[in-house]
Structure 1
Amino acid sequence: MKATLAVAAAAALAGGVNAGSVHHRHAHNAVRVALEKKDYNNETCGCTTIYKTFYGEPTLLFPPVPATTAAPPPPPVTTATETAVVVPTPIAQTCSTTGVYTFPPHTVTLTESTTVLVPSTTAVPSGSHVIGGVTTIVTTATTITCPYATVSTSEGVVTSVVATTTYVCPSAGTYTIAPTTTSVDKSTVLTVPVVTEYPPGTYTQPEVVTTVTETNTVIFCPFDIPTPTAKTTPHVLTYPAETPKTTAVIVPTAPSYPDAPSSLKAPNTPAVPTSPTSPSKPKATGSLGGEPGKPWGISYTPYGTGEDGGCKTREEVDKDIAAIASAGVKTVRVYSTDCDTLPNVGDAVRKYGLRIILGVFIDAPGCTARNPSVAEQIGAIKSWAQWDIVDLISIGNEAVFHGYCEPSQLAGLINQCKGEFSGYTGRYTTAETINIWQQPNFSSAVCGVVDVAGANAHAYFNTETDASQAGQFVKGQLDLVSSICGNGNVPGIILETGWPSAGNAMGLAVPGESQQRIAVSSIVKECGDRAVMFSLTNDKWKDPNTACACEQNFGLAKVLGINI
């Protein structure tokens, strides 16, 4: 899934033993949202009593201070009604210049349940799209009454609000209720509000010290979510007791923000029924890894190679996967489910006798199945459920590195996915850089819930490593991650590694076509049987203006002899 929001919750790596990331995110203008308090104890799931509406940002915002300067007391943000609203959504900070920033710690205490609309972003290609609404699975004919995000316009002012809708589900199945239709003439980033409830409790945002290497970078400082108790149940929107049991996920509708397409229409369309969940498939029979000295896997995204990054057709995907198989690569890693990844890539993988690594991508704060993007991906994987060709499922790709998840949240999401993917008895992992795996709070939370320790390791981001040493570096990263969870009970694997064919030099690491060939040959020789190469093609839709100027140039098809 193409990420569209910039964050960095930890210092970017410039050297040492840890590889940096090639998944930089870049910020968009903040959107204007409305905050609402609601009572969720009424008999119709609590979506009708609005106590008050406030206008302004959904969080307190505090300016960063230099690392050597004492932090001043944090001033509250005053809304248009002179009422300060405090909720523990991640605090967005804009760093206009490069340097070391310190963001002071904050504590937020809620004395009652508070519901807000938190802005989220999603990238869509050109064309018409049905988005938003409420996706729910019912086991029998029933009536669903539930909240969803929409907009209200008064005197030319567009306000995000929470509304309710009631729909009669005529039979068992999966339904999307009150979706929104939008048409765009080019690849576009839509900003949409997400219904989020915070229960009573004390939320803490620890001090964050980070090094910013690019101007106008947005840092998100997330709050730790309290452990649920009998009196604290986080983020759950409850349906009436008399309603048959359902699995409901709130997916936001898209408001007409100034930077959103004018073609967005109000959510007045009926529910869209889809097929019930497919039956479970047998356990994956393959084993992780390939033949020594040969490339085992390659990462793949079904996006076009042009600047718009539109979705590839089914025929184009089939051609790509056929070329991968012809080159002797055994496994394809995908990151998410957008662009019909599961039916198109999955069918081609089966057709050509390959294996697949699935992914649930987290590209914004909200590390739970209540995150609309995460919920959509989980639902798509459950419906697809072709487990017999799946070797591994990765929940998150550098989600902790980028500040979207706390380790405990990520562990909880992995466990939740295990419960959601009925019939899959294969392996689970997450992909992080080595420095994240080495943090005690991460390994202690995550080692117990994964079957494989997945690492993204890019020698190019180590300033002391030239192309000829790339294989030794990545093999060293593999050895490190293999030892983190103890006693070899959780083996390590490299889920992403490569070298750019163009960009800026990072110390001794110099990009270029000849350097890429040398580096990739070295990696394949040292640990290609336990590594997923990154990636099949160059990605011109990525931002070319990062510090390395390299993100568009990791395509390895020519180097690996893949004829596309």
Structure 2
Amino acid sequence: MMKAGLLCLAGLVATAIAQPHRHHRHEAKRDVVVDVVTNTVVAYATAPGAVVYVDGNGNPVSTSYADEAAPTTASAAYSAPAVESTSSVYTSAPASTAWSSSYVAPAPSSTTEAPAPSSYVAPDTSSSAAASTSSASSGSANSGYTISYSPYNSDNSCKDQDQVTSDFAMITGYDMVRLYGTDCNQTVTVLNAASAKGMKLFAGVYDITQVASEIQTIIDAANGNWDSFHTVSVGNEGVNNGLYSVSDVVSAIGTARSALQAAGYTGSVVTVDTFVAMIANPELCEASDYAAANCHAFFDGGVAAEDAGKFVLGQAQRVSQACGGKDTMITESGWPSQGDTNGMAVPSSENQINAINSLRAAFSSNIVLFSAFNDLWKQNNAGTYGAEQYWGIMGNAPA
């Protein structure tokens, strides 16, 4: 599932957070720190007092910003969904048990404009519920939370329509779902299940070398009706992981946008990469309709679960600044319920609850929570802290 991907480009050094996909494995994080460099100059982002940790080969492992003030976020005014009416705060469901939510997602609008604000506004603590950010008040299509979903069984086989529909019967309180690719006929099966619940689709092209065929698959799935499509992403962390050059990705975005527009699509087209890759390579967000960045506080190692929202909000602000104030969405963020400790980051069911509540308090929209269910088809390695399969907010999938 998730690993820590590390990137050092254009003089920028920070902790890169890598994300999941069926064909995506994360870069192993090195665990031997032998040197500390201070006052590093960071391109496109201000980082006074930066402390950069490197391994025995001089490769950057992580960066902290000891002298930097923490971004302002709301206190715990947010009232999270209840689970079977047993708690007033968000609680994750045990594996294979039913999960229900009292949260009702706002009705998706028919527009497809880019969803995120150029600057973030913390929720108003005077309210008993999460307050709207500037983008929510502007009537954007994504006026609530988004959840990521992968349609694979534990043996890596594809889920069929009935299984996907069964999974979506459990997904409540979200107005959009994010996919990563087009394999397993997932654009069709998820579109059917999501649209039946009034949810928008954040569709995805995973392999940009196959962008033409994957885009055609999405076009075929839409069948001329784009009402339920909000965004189409082209690639997921390809630059961060060294799979593609920036120019490769920019070219693929252009190819995808041209084909989609010719088919009548008027929604957003973006590429998704880590917040570090976006900051180091603003061409990625310049070619996108809004900046789409993945960011997981867990992989930083210096952030506790209850501070996940504050950390991710700060990185979203950095991305927006690096992209010239462009609208920004955090396209992945979550916390594992099981696994090994990473510094201050401790996987547990309780900490997953704390992290999700923290993220919801910091963002009332413009964030994709990762992930709907545990991804038991994934494999762990040294960089995943034994947590690769256990990011599911609702435990194991019913299907």
Q: State the TM bucket, normalised to the shorter chain.
A: 0.5 to 0.7
Is 1:360 matched up with 2:205?
yes
- Give the percent of matched residue pairs that are identical in Structure 1 and Structure 2: 33
**1:11 Cα deviation from its structure 2 partner:** 6.2
The one of 348, 352, 357 equivalent to 1:521 is 357
**CA distance in 2: counterparts of 1:9 and 1:499, whole angstroms:** 19
Number of the residue aligned with 1:310: 157
Task: Tell me the alpha carbon deviations over residues 486-543 of structure 1, each in whole angstroms, 9 at most, x when there is no partner.
Answer: 1x3x201110000001111111111111111111111011114110000011112111
**1:546 Cα deviation from its structure 2 partner:** 2.9
**1:451 Cα deviation from its structure 2 partner:** 1.1
Change (3 A) 1:8 1:353: closer
Number of the residue aligned with 2:287: 449
**CA distance in 2: counterparts of 1:347 and 1:417, whole angstroms:** 23
Number of the residue aligned with 2:45: none
Change (3 A) 1:340 1:446: same
Where does 1:339-350 land on structure 2 (aligned, <5 Å)? 339-350=184-195
**AA matched with 1:555:** G
Number of the residue aligned with 2:67: none
Unaligned runs of 5+ in 1: 28-97, 102-208, 214-282
Is 1:463 matched up with 2:301?
yes
| Partners of 1:395 and 1:430 within 8 A in 2 | yes
| Partners of 1:284 and 1:426 within 8 A in 2 | no
**CA distance in 2: counterparts of 1:496 and 1:26, whole angstroms:** 14
Number of the residue aligned with 1:432: 273
Runs of 4+ in 1 over 6 A off after TM superposition: 6-9
Greater share of residues in strand? 1
**CA distance in 2: counterparts of 1:563 and 1:491, whole angstroms:** 36
**1:447 Cα deviation from its structure 2 partner:** 3.3
Change (3 A) 1:20 1:100: farther
**AA matched with 2:169:** A
Where does 1:95-106 land on structure 2 (aligned, <5 Å)? none
**CA distance in 2: counterparts of 1:346 and 1:523, whole angstroms:** 26
**CA distance in 2: counterparts of 1:453 and 1:520, whole angstroms:** 22
Change (3 A) 1:7 1:501: closer
Task: Tell me the alpha carbon deviations over residues 458-500 of structure 1, each in whole angstroms, 9 at most, x when there is no partner.
Answer: 00011110011011011112212222221x3x20111000000
Total equivalences in the alignment: 293
Number of the residue aligned with 1:557: 394
Between 1 and 2, higher relative CO (CA 8 Å, sep ≥ 6) is seen in: 2
Q: State the SS of the aligned residue for 1:524.
A: helix
**CA distance in 1: counterparts of 2:202 and 2:387, whole angstroms:** 25
| Partners of 1:11 and 1:212 within 8 A in 2 | no
Instruction: Provide TM-score, normalisation by structure 2.
Output: 0.66
Q: Which has the larger radius of gyration?
A: 1
Change (3 A) 1:396 1:284: farther
**CA distance in 2: counterparts of 1:345 and 1:313, whole angstroms:** 10
**CA distance in 2: counterparts of 1:554 and 1:427, whole angstroms:** 27
Where does 1:370-381 land on structure 2 (aligned, <5 Å)? 371=209, 373-381=210-218
**CA distance in 2: counterparts of 1:409 and 1:303, whole angstroms:** 29
**CA distance in 2: counterparts of 1:397 and 1:408, whole angstroms:** 15
Where does 1:191-230 land on structure 2 (aligned, <5 Å)? 210=59
Where does 1:520-539 land on structure 2 (aligned, <5 Å)? 520-539=356-375
Where does 1:73-222 land on structure 2 (aligned, <5 Å)? 210=59
**CA distance in 2: counterparts of 1:528 and 1:329, whole angstroms:** 11
**AA matched with 1:357:** F
Q: State the SS of the aligned residue for 1:323.
A: coil
Change (3 A) 1:404 1:337: same
Q: State the SS of the aligned residue for 1:387.
A: coil
Where does 1:482-497 land on structure 2 (aligned, <5 Å)? 482-486=320-324, 488=325, 490-497=326-333
**CA distance in 1: counterparts of 2:241 and 2:186, whole angstroms:** 24
| Partners of 1:284 and 1:425 within 8 A in 2 | no
**CA distance in 2: counterparts of 1:541 and 1:11, whole angstroms:** 30
**CA distance in 1: counterparts of 2:17 and 2:354, whole angstroms:** 20
The one of 3, 17, 31 equivalent to 1:20 is 17
Task: Tell me the alpha carbon deviations over residues 31-90 of structure 1, each in whole angstroms, 9 at most, x when there is no partner.
Answer: xxxxxxxxxxxxxxxxxxxxxxxxxxxxxxxxxxxxxxxxxxxxxxxxxxxxxxxxxxxx
Q: State the SS of the aligned residue for 1:339.
A: helix
**CA distance in 1: counterparts of 2:320 and 2:26, whole angstroms:** 32
Q: State the SS of the aligned residue for 1:298.
A: strand
Instruction: Provide TM-score, normalisation by structure 1.
Output: 0.48
**1:426 Cα deviation from its structure 2 partner:** 1.2
**1:292 Cα deviation from its structure 2 partner:** 4.0
| Partners of 1:18 and 1:457 within 8 A in 2 | no
Number of the residue aligned with 1:49: none
**CA distance in 2: counterparts of 1:530 and 1:457, whole angstroms:** 13
Number of the residue aligned with 1:270: none
**1:321 Cα deviation from its structure 2 partner:** 2.1
The one of 413, 416, 419 equivalent to 2:252 is 413
Change (3 A) 1:546 1:528: farther
**CA distance in 1: counterparts of 2:59 and 2:8, whole angstroms:** 4
**1:436 Cα deviation from its structure 2 partner:** 0.9
